[in-house]
Homo-oligomer: A and B are copies of this chain.
Amino acid sequence: MIITMNPNARKEDIENVERLIEDFGYTVHPIHGTNLTVLAAVGDERGKEGLYDRLSSQHGVDKVEYILPPYKLVCREVRKGIERPDTVLKIQFDWKEGKGSVTLGGDELVVMAGPCSVESREQMMESARLCKESGAKILRGGAFKPRTSPYSFQGLEEDGLKLLAEARHEYGMPVITELMDAHHLELVDRYTDIIQIGARNMQNFMLLKALGSTKRPVLLKRGMSSTIDEWLMAAEYILSTGNNQVMLCERGIRTFETKYRNVLDLNAVPTLRKLTHLPVIADPSHGTGQADMVTPMALASVAAGAHSLMIEMHPDPAKAWSDGAQSLDGPQFAELMKKLKPVARAVNRTTPW
């Protein structure tokens, strides 16, 4: 850590800070400049948040900054020396034709698709059919819905989970669905293959801590105004409970621009690929909010290096109970998948469709 002292800090302030650093087990390295003093605390600072907090409030201290990122387990460096340092997830499931599996985080481009909300058996079966037909490997659908308004549709809950499980059984696609509360974990876990943590819950720390008790992979969406560091720290929460199967999904950030629902921050993709070993997913549906922007931004996401895409697809968007405006219909989704193939190939990703 680098501690910048105030130009007006007194000698005893500096000594006090030096003592504190040593008390925490670090080596102090003072640099006395012409105008002020900078102290370096040398030692592995990761996981020792206490020192940061304490230093920030000492008399005469102007600023405290980390040198190493404050996360450990999600860091790419953790895998240093390993031949293929990327985390590759293998999702296994049962369906009517036996055992199935999907591998995510490797060379293959994996597409997750399906409706925003689970609405009915018909809608889910038709969605699954259309998704599978075009090459999607994982089926999404919300049974618990975080809605801005208490008067909006809140999801079918367990009935929705059952429909997801039925669709998996029939079509052989593992399913992903959102978990909104730690106390639904057991229930959701019973039906789903991947647990999604939504943007609004990225810093619901009680929920993150609960994920240690499941073996399911977790897809962690970025909070709508969360920094990359906060996002990786949220992932660190999950890994630190013992669940290493985490993927990160960029879904757009909030800015001043009102022309689209969010700004899909594709800068996050190469940045995450550099900082962490976890798989990176992009969600151009939420990242734009408009069906006619999904295809170009899906292509861009793959070109930027995403391992996987999450796409909202609905057999009849005009009748969707939520997010219809950003959902592709069957033919639009088929068209997207067709266009994805050459772009994926151009960046050395394979496509199983």
Residues of A within 8 A of B (CB): 2, 4, 7, 29, 31-36, 38, 40, 42-44, 46-50, 53-54, 56-59, 65, 67-68, 70-71, 77, 146-154, 180-183, 200-201, 203-207, 209, 224-225, 227-230, 233, 236-237, 240, 253-260, 263-267, 269-271, 273-274, 287-288, 292-293, 296-297, 299-305, 317-325, 327, 339, 342-343, 345-347
Contact = CB atoms under 8 A, between A and B. Distances in A.
A269 B296 contact: yes
Contacts of A269: 296, 300
Given A34-B43, A57-B324, A183-B183, A296 B287 contact: no
Contacts of A288: 267, 270
A297 B293 contact: no
Contacts of A339: 346-347
Contacts of A253: 255-257, 263
A57 B327 contact: yes
Contacts of A260: 267, 271
Given A58-B318, A203-B200, A324-B54, A259 B230 contact: no
Contact of A53 (B48, B201, B204, B320): B320
